[in-house]
Amino acid sequence: MPKSLLYAWLIFTPFILNAQKDMTGITLHFNPILNGKPIQDGILTGHINDDSIAIHTLRFYLGNFVFYKNGKEVGQDASGYHLLDMEDANTMTISLLIAADYDAIRFTLGTDSLTNASGAMGGDLDPTKGMYWAWNSGYINAKIEGYAKKCPTRNHQFEFHIGGYMPPFQTVQQVELQGIAKQEIRVDMELSAFFEQIDLGVTHGVMSPSATASEMAKLLAKTFRLHEQ
């Protein structure tokens, strides 16, 4: 090792180690629910708008976690985007490190325009994850699929592939959780708040960027809330 690099390593290593010691571990558990009922046998079921609904697929991207204290930014996470998949319980927990106390978290639901414009990537953004539109050169920010009695489709199926990053059909959304003072946090996703605003007898398929996809993204962002003990 060149002397200059050795000296730099000797000087800065203590500072790096001290910074790591000051880091706080934060664990977020995301729990999809429907009318307060959790996942059972890999499916969410419930009755909404006089309709019987069963959700068997729920996948979405979260990223750009920023932490606040008294309204001021105190830290952010640089681990990139996380793909959460209802079918894989391990993906529904995200562990982060920050270097300060906090009382609020802000994050994005979906991927930003820069990520989309950069083409297919690796990790959770790998196209093999099934969340990339090769024909559209962009990511699907959220997939929601299932069945509803009122759906006039074959086998009463609905499919919502929510994505789009170019105006006027952007779908990335900001989510903020306030009043947090714990290192382990449970976040519910109450999907009834999403389906109560949708007539599945009329709207049952979204497969490309559109005004409907943008509105659905806004509805989905409103489903996140801190779990009440």
Of 60, 71, 82, the C-alpha closest to 179 is: 71
Res 229: pLDDT: 66
- The dihedral built from the CA positions of residue 148, 151, 157 and 161, taken in this order, carries a sign that is negative
Q: What is the mean pLDDT of the chain?
A: 90
Average pLDDT over residues 204-229: 95
Q: How far apart are CA 181 and CA 68, in angstroms?
A: 11
Average pLDDT over residues 132-160: 93
Res 17: pLDDT: 44
Residue 149 pLDDT class (50, 70, 90 cuts): very high
Res 162: pLDDT: 98
Q: Quick check: bond before 2 cis, omega within 30?
A: no
Residue 94 scores a pLDDT above 80? yes
Average pLDDT over residues 142-158: 97
Share of the chain above pLDDT 90, in %: 77
Q: How far apart are CA 25 and CA 118, in angstroms?
A: 30
Res 79: pLDDT: 86
Cα distance from N-terminal residue to C-terminal residue, the chain: 55
Res 135: pLDDT: 73
Res 15: pLDDT: 44
Res 14: pLDDT: 52
Res 183: pLDDT: 86
Q: Which helix (H) or strand (E) holds 71?
A: none
Encode pLDDT of 6-51 as tens digits.
555 555 455 444 444 567 789 999 999 999 999 999 999 999 999 9
Encode pLDDT of 54-75 as tens digits.
999 999 999 999 999 999 999 9
DSSP calls for 98-127: ESS--SEEEEEES--HHHHHT---SGGG-G
Residues 187, 177 contacting (CB under 8 angstroms): yes
Residue 3 pLDDT class (50, 70, 90 cuts): low
Longest dimension (CA), the chain: 74
Res 16: pLDDT: 40
- In the block, which residue shows the tokens 């606040």? 68
Average pLDDT over residues 208-226: 97
Q: What is the DSSP letter of 153?
A: S
Res 4: pLDDT: 56
Q: How far apart are CA 10 and CA 7, in angstroms?
A: 5
Copy the structure tokens of residue 21. 């010691």
Residues 68, 162 contacting (CB under 8 angstroms): no
Q: How far apart are CA 221 and CA 108, in angstroms?
A: 9
Residue 169 pLDDT class (50, 70, 90 cuts): very high
Residues 200, 193 contacting (CB under 8 angstroms): no
Pure H helices in 110-179: 113-117
| CA–CA distances in Å: residue 194 to residues 73, 99, 153, 197, 215 | 30, 35, 20, 6, 10
